[in-house]
A and B are shown apart, each in its own frame.
Chain A
Amino acid sequence: MIRPGRGAPAAALTLAFVLAAAPALAKETGYVFVSSENDNAVTVLDGRTWQVVKTIATGPRPRDMRLSPDRGTLYVVASKAGRVDVIDVARLELTHSIPVGEDPEMFDIGPDGKRMYVSNEEDARVSVIDIAGRKPVATIDVGEEPEGVKLSPDGRRLYVTSEVANMVHVIDTATHRILANVVVGNRPRRFAMTPDGGEVWVTNELGGAVTILDGAKNALKGTVEFKPKGFRADEITPVGIAMSRDGRTAYVTLGRANHVAIVEVASRKVTDYVLVGNRAWGATLNRDESLLFVANGLSDDVSVVDTRTRKVLRSVPVGRVPHTVVVDD
C-alpha cells in the first residue's frame, strides 16, 4: 500500500510547523495516546518525534479513551475488566480504576466532568458513573450491543447506538428515561454532532452510510453515502467519525475500504477520500484540527492526515489492534 509522505522531509517539516504553531496551554504535553486492544496497554507517543515515550499497562482490552474536561486525566475503558482505568496525564501513571459494569466499550463524559456514561456491550445497558465517587449510580436498559455514546452539547440528552437493534436511543440524562428510539441504518456504531446539537451523525457499518438525525425532533433528516473509487458497496463499512468544532467538516473512516471520507456537513457532500491503513476505525482530530489521526485496526498503525492538504503525513506503528487515539496538544 502506498503511504504518501512516509519519511518525506517536506512532510516532516510541515508537521513540525503545525505542532509548533499549536496554541500553548499549561498542561499540553504534546503526547499522543493510543489504546491497543490486544496489548492491554496505552502507548504514549511524542507528537514531534513519534517515538514511544512510555507504554502504560491497563486492564485487558483497552478501547475507548477520553480526556477529562481539564485535560489532566485520561480515562481508558478496559473492556474485559469491566472498568475504566484512570491515567494522570502529567505523570503518565495509572492512578486508579472505576468499576463501570460488564464489557464496557465506549463512553462520554458530561460537560462538568462529574459523570461518565458507558455502554455495556454484553449486558445491553448504559451505566451512569459518578466519577468522584467511583461507582455506578444508574443503569439504563437499551437494545443489544450498545456501542457509540454521545452527550448533547448541553449534556441533557444522551445518544446511544444499538448495533443489533439498528437504533439510536435518545435518553434524558436527568431522568435516565428513553425519550425516543430512532431506527437508523444497519449496525449503527458511532456519533458526531454539530456544535448546536441540531444534527446528530451516526455511522452505519453494515448500511455503508451515515444517518443524520434531527437533534430536536429525534427524527431522520438525511443520509450520506460513500463511493470511493474501486470499492464495492460491501467493502464500505463506516465506523469512526469526527467533526470539526465549527461543524463544517466531518471525517468518516470507511473500515474495510481503507479510506477516510471528508464530508462537507452543510451540503452533505463527500469532497475527498484519503487512503489510510487497513480497517480504519478510530478517528480523532488534534486541538487545532490541523491533523486527523486514524487508528487502523488490522495494520496495527495510526495514519496521521494533514487536514489542509488531505495527505497522509506518516503512518506510525503502534501496538496490536489500535482502537482510539487521544491527543494532548
Chain B
Amino acid sequence: MKTLLLSTAAALAFTGGAMAASHEGGAVKIGVILGFTGPIESLTPNMAAAAELAMTEINEAGGVLDGMMLEPVRADSTCIDSAAATAAAERLITSDGVVAIMGADCSGVTGAILANAAVPNGIPMISPSATSPGLSTAEDNGLFFRTSPSDARQGEVLAAILADKGITEVAVTYTNNDYGKGLSDAFISSFEANGGTVTISAPHEDGKADYSAEVASLASGGGEVLAVLGYADQGGKGVIQASLDTGAFDTFMMGDGMFADSLMADLGADMAGSFGAVPWSQGEGAEAFTSVTEAAGINGDTSFTRESYDAAALLALAMQAGGEATPAAIAANILNVANAPGEPILPGELAKALQILKDGGEIDYVGATNVELIGPGEAAGTYREYTVEDADYSTVQFR
C-alpha cells in the first residue's frame, strides 16, 4: 500500500512538472467547462468538439501571438449542481492555470461559476448556451459574455409575433426552473407592455405522467392560445397532449425549448396553425461552419455547436488583439473583435483574422451565428418565426 501511494505521488509530481513545463514552453490553456454529465449530456460532446475545433484551427495557423499554442482543458459543469461546477472552475483556474473559460452551459451553474470563481479571479468567460435574462444584470466586472441571446430578447420576439397576429389574450405555462421562469417573466412583461392580457401563468413540473390537472387550470383561465415555454421531450409535450385531448386549446405558441422534430412526429398533425420562435443561424456563416465541421468530421448540427465554436474563436482572437495571453487583455478586447468596424470573419477564416490583427488591422467576427454582441456583451440573436403546417415547421420570417 505504502509503495503504491509513494509511486502515485511520484507520478503526480512528475506529470505536474511536465504540465508546468509545457505552460512555460508557450502554451495557453483555455477552460472548456460544460455539463458532460447531467441533463444536457447528449449535447455537450458536440459543443466541446466545436470549441476545440476553433482552437485547433488557430494552432494550425501557427497559434496566437508569437506561436503560442492553445490548449483546451475540459471540466464538468454538471448543468445543475452549482457547487460541483464552482469546484471544477476553481480547479481550472488555480490548478490548471487557464486564462479564460469557454462555458458554462446551463444558466444556473454559469451564474454560480461567474460569481464564485471567475469574478474573484478576474477570469473572462464566454457562455455558448446560458440564456437566462438574469445573467444580463449579474455583477461581472466586464468579464462575462455570451454568444447565445438572452431570453429577454426571446420574450420580446414572442410578444411581437402575437402583436402581429392581433392576439391579446393568452394563457402561459412554463417549465418550473430558471430557464422557464426567466423566459415566462420576460415574455409576460413584453406582452403586457404591448397591451396583452395573460389570463393565467402556471408552472408545470417536468417528468410527470399526467398533466390533466395543470391543463384543467389553464383551460379555466382561458385565452386564444396557450404559450408553452417548456421542453419538447418533457412536460411541454405532456401539456400540449393533454390540452389537445381535452379540447382545452387547439393553438399553441412555443418557446425555443419546444422546437424538436420528435414533437412534430408525435403531435404535429393536430397542431396545425400553432407557431413559435427558435434561435437560428442562416447565411454564409452557418454554411461555412457546416463545411468546416464536415471537413473535421464533427457533428455540428446539434444545438449550440455554432455558439461554442464562436465562443472559443472570440477568446483566441481577443487574446491576439490584446497582444498578450492574460485574462485582462482578453476581457478588454472581446467586444472589439466581435463587432464592427473591421473585416468580416467567417468560420474557417481564423488564420486570416489572426494575420489582420498581427498587422494592426481590425476585424468584425461574424462566425457561425452572425455574432453581434450588444448590451453587457451578449448576442443579439436571430430568431426564426415558424408555424406548424402538415406536421412540419414552416418558416414565416426571421426576426
The finding on whether chains A and B are genuine partners in a shared complex, rather than unrelated, reads no
Using CB atoms and an 8 Å cutoff, list the residues of chain A in contact with chain B: none
